[in-house]
Structure 1
Amino acid sequence: MKRILFFIFMISLGSNAFGQIDLNTKFKPIKIKNVKPKKEVPPPANLPKLDIPKIVAPNVFKETNIYGTKPQVNNSFEIGTAENHFSMTPTDKYKHKLGDVYQEKMTQDLDKTMVREGLKEDSSLLDRADRYLGDFKTKSNELVVKYRDYIQIDGDLINVYLNDQLIQSRLYLYSNLHEFKIPLTTGLNKIEFVVASQGTSGGNTAEIHVIDGSNKSVTDEYWNNLALGTKIKLIVIKE
């Protein structure tokens, strides 16, 4: 029994000793200085007033178009409406622009080439220059002249002169070859073909073949858009 009491006494003595330990911790509080509050500075009196609109948040539960714009009605596929532009024909945004310019130029170039090559008549490219075909010698008593319009039958006419005398007046140029004869005298024979009409489609486009009595060709001519009054001359010397 004495041992138990002694053991309890020792425990109580140890707990009192730990409870009286002083850590000697020194605490120094920070002194608060007296801070004077800053004075409020009023804004300048001459500042302009800003008219700031009031911002109101849209009600997304009632209006889904939060930008406030009115959508345009798309009725391009509605038949019978005034705004209907629907068509089954595909459209080309370059229509009547670049393609037409090139097509027109190609047509003009083709027309000029055809006129230049004697395949088409064109009054804008009339040939007004007289020409001399040269001198020819023959022993024949006459010449045979074959003529026709080799492009378009549009009323082309020619006159024929021998030594300044009219021997054939207003010969009509058909599609088939027609002919007439020119009598020759000994010595110099001046023959002139003169455009009496250039027709309705452009210049005169006569095809003329001059042949002597031995069936020898004197000259072969293809007139390309000759203007009214143009002269084609040659000299035939009968030996």
Structure 2
Amino acid sequence: MSKKIIHKADTRGHANHGWLNSHHTFSFARYYNPERMGFGLLRVLNDDIVAPGMGFGTHPHDNMEIVSIPLKGALAHQDSTGTSEVIETNEVQIMSAGSGLTHSEFNASKTEPVNFLQIWVFPKEQSIQPRYEQKAYKPEDRQNKLQTVISPEKGSDALWINQDAWFTLGSLKAGFSEDYQLHKRGNGVYAFVLEGEVEIDGEKLEKRDGMGISDADWVSIKSSADAELLLIEIPMK
């Protein structure tokens, strides 16, 4: 019997610093909820809006897989591996903090806000050499189907992650129906609705709602309206 946990959008932690308007699915910074310390090895899922020209100054990380997905606008990134890039909408970035690095993230625009997801996953191997990678994905490749954008399989079309985790995006039309088959026994799936309305395993989810499912081999997906969906398949321990 599968286990489910639902996090409605309006129950997330919230911090508005003026330049940064952030919603936290899991405990982060000043938002602390002992029942929301993550889902399996998924630790952070932040929905951030950064004002034009503003951002996060240089700060350190280690032993964390950090994924950034711009939903609207563009994000300028610099880090101590020598990387200096702009991440656009329809691109995905992954950074293995590994043995330690510093980085900064700023809105690449002086006129428009940027909205992006920042996601942290505990790594499989500790203290690997820090690394950075980003990739553009064609939105038409996820029209009414599921598009894998992050995977532990080196050499695939997806970005590599130092964990047995898979990230999948879908732009689904009303009436779409498909089962998501988990890749690895013992993993769970965290579904996060970016836009629209989706039914996951019979549970109705709306924009920015999240739901974790564990002890399941597959998950049913049905869209009752046009929807944008992110699935994170993650080890539970």
User: TM tier, shorter chain?
Assistant: under 0.3
TM-score of the pair, normalised by structure 2: 0.25
Work out which of the two has the higher radius of gyration on C-alpha atoms and give 1 or 2.
1
Which structure shows the higher strand fraction? 2
TM-score of the pair, normalised by structure 1: 0.25
